[in-house]
Amino acid sequence: MNAQPHDTAAMESLLAFWRDAGVDACFEDSPQDRTIVVAPALKAVTRATASVTPVVNMGDATAEARRLANDAETMEALAGAAAAFKGCELVGMGARGCVFGRGDPHAPILLVGEAPGAEEDAAGQPFVGRAGKLLDRMLAAAGLADRVFITNTVFWRPPGNRTPTPQEQAVCAPFLERAFVLMKPRAVLLLGAAAARSVLRTEDGIMKVRGQWRDWRSTEGDVSAPVIATLHPAFLLRQPQAKRQAWADMLELAARLDGDTDGPALSDV
């Protein structure tokens, strides 16, 4: 290239600005609003999946997800089915691969976070970054460390670690529901607003819904479990004063499992 020195400097500065703003991948020549489902978004789904499964609309992608998920008879098979699924828009947006879950697939507790971030994308496992380490410390202090399976509402890293859209969550939901049906957990913990929105199907804010037990029932209605939402560990890193509420939710979860109301103290975390 014959770029003038000052052009190169300007370009580097612009790229640094974008990187700092969280833009770490390029997909189109012009920007698109991916937070709403309109015809261009559907075209993007079709384009991203064209070489694998012809997807006509979100309904078809969700039906394909449900078919793949329901064919899985074990959690291991379910992880493979999710990895084979190409109908989520996020697949074509720069994620290295599918991040399905970690922990004991036969555990009594299912944890659901928002979406893999950069570290999870690199490691292929959910909650391995700073937020994950805080989560692990809280689980250990509550005596729940080896009693959980951890997954997310979507299985591919959204570009720039943005929040997954309701459409991306909806298309991945059959895999999450199948995990729920296969595990038949004794309790479910939702981590943060995006997980609460997707699983509880509510627009209420996390501060309103956290700390209250609700019922999660499978579509067929044959599996149900108590579910409680709490604050996301990444939020706790930014707002440490909110740890008290998240810790109360964690103890509530432990008590539900063990029938024990006197847990360890927040200072143990």
- Of 177-206, binders to ligand URA (CB under 6 A) are 191
Half-sphere exposure (Cβ direction) of 233: Cα atoms closer than 13 Å = 22
Tokens standing for residue 152? 């997310």
Choose between 113 and 263: whose C-beta lies nearer to ligand URA: 113
Strands 187-191 and 148-152: unpaired
Choose between 185 and 233: whose C-beta lies nearer to ligand URA: 233
Site pattern 151..170 for ligand URA (x: CB under 6 A): -x------------------
Choose between 55 and 191: whose C-beta lies nearer to ligand URA: 191
By CB under 6 A, name the one of 126, 174, 185, 263 that touches ligand URA: 126
Separation between Cα atoms, residue 46 and residue 53, nearest integer Å: 9
CB of 116 to ligand URA, least distance (A): 5
- Radius of gyration of the chain, Cα coordinates, nearest whole angstrom: 20
Q: Does 247 bind ligand URA (CB under 6 A)?
A: no
Question: Residue 75 phi/psi, 5° resolution?
Answer: -65, -35
Choose between 82 and 191: whose C-beta lies nearer to ligand URA: 191
Asked if residues 72 and 78 have their Cβ atoms less than 8 Å apart, the reply is: yes
Choose between 60 and 114: whose C-beta lies nearer to ligand URA: 114
| Contact stretch for ligand URA (CB under 6 A) within 47-55, 79-87, 127-135, 140-148 | 127-135
| Contact stretch for ligand URA (CB under 6 A) within 19-27, 72-80, 123-131, 245-253 | 123-131
Tokens standing for residue 93? 């947006």
By CB under 6 A, name the one of 131, 138, 228, 254 that touches ligand URA: 131
Asked if residues 25 and 94 have their Cβ atoms less than 8 Å apart, the reply is: yes
| Contact stretch for ligand URA (CB under 6 A) within 32-40, 119-127, 206-214, 219-227 | 119-127
| Contact stretch for ligand URA (CB under 6 A) within 50-58, 66-74, 83-91, 112-120 | 112-120
Separation between Cα atoms, residue 96 and residue 142, nearest integer Å: 33
Please name the residue ranges forming H helices in 85-155: 118-123, 130-141
Which class for 81: exposed (0-12), middle (13-18), buried (19 or more C-beta within 10 A)?
buried
CA 134 from chain centre, in angstroms, equals 17
Tokens standing for residue 180? 């729920």
Judged by CB under 6 A, how many residues of this single chain contact ligand URA? Answer: 13
Q: Does 87 bind ligand URA (CB under 6 A)?
A: no
By CB under 6 A, name the one of 79, 115, 141, 229 that touches ligand URA: 115
Point out which residues pair with 111 in neighbouring strands: 150, 189
Which class for 2: exposed (0-12), middle (13-18), buried (19 or more C-beta within 10 A)?
exposed
CB of 72 to ligand URA, least distance (A): 21
Q: Does 64 bind ligand URA (CB under 6 A)?
A: no
Task: Using CB under 6 A, list all residues that contact ligand URA.
Answer: 113-117, 120, 126-127, 131-132, 152, 191, 234
